[in-house]
Structure 1
Amino acid sequence: MDNHNQNNHEELGYLFNIEILVKDKSNALALQALLQLLNNAENIIDYRINSGIELGSIIESLLVAKKQTFISNSYKRLTATAQDKKKVSQAPPSPPAKEKNKPTKPLSDNFASMANNGDFGAWIQKHISENRLIRLSVIRNGVRTSIPCRILNFIPETYAMNVYHVDEKQVYTFNLSEIIDFIET
């Protein structure tokens, strides 16, 4: 009977998954207030903040810019080699450039034609190296969204594309199957 009474007084830990809205002048001050609250509570033995921290955005933007410069320099070397090969083979001239702000065909149509001609990789690299602003229409989880963005990179093995959302200042990854169409701006 003494064991039974001893078990009733044993303290246990319980895990809760919550979202907390903290009002303050900045994200950093709100985070500081939340951390103080959590650290000063005697009953809280551990915690993990999964989202909402907006610190380090300058570092993140510098890393994205450095990666973009590396990709751009790599593409310039590739295009210089490709142009040397074209001079030797005397390929026919390419079609005239598209007008700015003119909507293009849906990506599925472009992808099919470009994949057959081998132009898709060149199209992606051109947009990456020139840091062009485009608008993607995507469907994710049944929701259609239009995103003004710049293409950061493309992974041909998985058909995944990383884009930088210029309004939200966030990086997103989309599969080509999620992309409906694009508009060059």
Structure 2
Amino acid sequence: MDKKQTHEDTGFLFNVDILITNSTNALALQALLEMLSGHHQIADFKIKSGMELGQIIDVMLQEKRKSLISKSRLSSSSPAAEVKKIKAKVDIPLKPTLPQAKNDDNRADQGTELNEWIRVYIRDNRLIRLTANRNGQHISMPCRILNFDEDKQLLNVYHVDEKQVYTFSLNEVDEFI
């Protein structure tokens, strides 16, 4: 009549608010994800709030919808013609072709052009392959750009295979494909 005790791991669910201090929301999110992913006892997690990423994208999409609605009401052309006009305006090539810098004046133009490409990748939530050189080690990863800090020249990217957020200095990045 001895009762055998089995030691099976049981899952427990907790709702927790965590305050993380960092210079940006994206860096704080990266720190949180690293903490949660670093423990083998955490089987799964869901971040329900606190991410400030994507607010600019939401505003831009709302403005775009408003302008499309007002344009379609004002125009008398067929809906198919309107779709072609909008598609022609929105279509952007997948690979950026940036001019090579020939002098210091061109470098400033190239930087703003690169910043614009990065904003397009963020806005369109494009899947890209980022090639970087970090501490002499070449890294190539499929990712989406989450955030770009133009002042500090920092990129926050989400590695789609590893499901982790990484931060790169822009001078570490060799190529976006």
Kindly, what percent of the aligned residue pairs are identical? 35
Report the Cα offset of residue 148 of structure 1. Answer: 0.4
Matched, 1:168 2:162: yes
Letter in 2 for 1:72: I
Gaps of 5+ in 2: 1-7, 12-34, 66-87
**Equivalent residue for 2:22?**
none
Letter in 2 for 1:52: G
CA distance in 1, matches of 2:167, 2:140: 14
CA distance in 2, matches of 1:116, 1:158: 18
Matched, 1:73 2:64: no
The residue matched to 2:144 in structure 1 has which SS? Answer: strand
**Equivalent residue for 1:7?**
none
The residue matched to 2:46 in structure 1 has which SS? Answer: helix
How much is the aligned-residue C-alpha RMSD, in angstroms? 4.3
CA distance in 2, matches of 1:176, 1:135: 15
Residues 78 and 178 of structure 1: is their aligned pair in 2 closer, same or farther, counting only changes over 3 Å? farther
**Equivalent residue for 1:97?**
92
CA distance in 1, matches of 2:99, 2:143: 15
Write out per-residue CA displacement over residues 115-146 of structure 1, whole angstroms, 9 at most, x where no aligned residue: 50643333222211211000000011110010
Report the Cα offset of residue 76 of structure 1. Answer: 3.3
Residues 166 and 105 of structure 1: is their aligned pair in 2 closer, same or farther, counting only changes over 3 Å? same
Residues 133 and 163 of structure 1: is their aligned pair in 2 closer, same or farther, counting only changes over 3 Å? same
Matched, 1:116 2:105: no
Residues 58 and 166 of structure 1: is their aligned pair in 2 closer, same or farther, counting only changes over 3 Å? same
**Equivalent residue for 2:130?**
136
Matched, 1:53 2:48: no
CA distance in 1, matches of 2:157, 2:45: 18
Q: What is the total number of aligned residue pairs between the two structures?
A: 121
TM-score by length of 2: 0.51
TM-score by length of 1: 0.49
The residue matched to 1:162 in structure 2 has which SS? Answer: strand
CA distance in 1, matches of 2:58, 2:97: 29
Report the Cα offset of residue 74 of structure 1. Answer: 3.3
Letter in 2 for 1:59: K
Whether contact under 8 Å (1:128, 1:152) holds in the other structure is yes
Q: Choose the corresponding residue for 2:121, options 111, 114, 127.
A: 127
**Greater Rg by CA:** 1
Write out per-residue CA displacement over residues 11-47 of structure 1, whole angstroms, 9 at most, x where no aligned residue: xxxxxxxxxxxxxx99x8xxxxxxxxxxxxxxxxxxx
Report the Cα offset of residue 114 of structure 1. Answer: 8.4
CA distance in 2, matches of 1:147, 1:129: 19
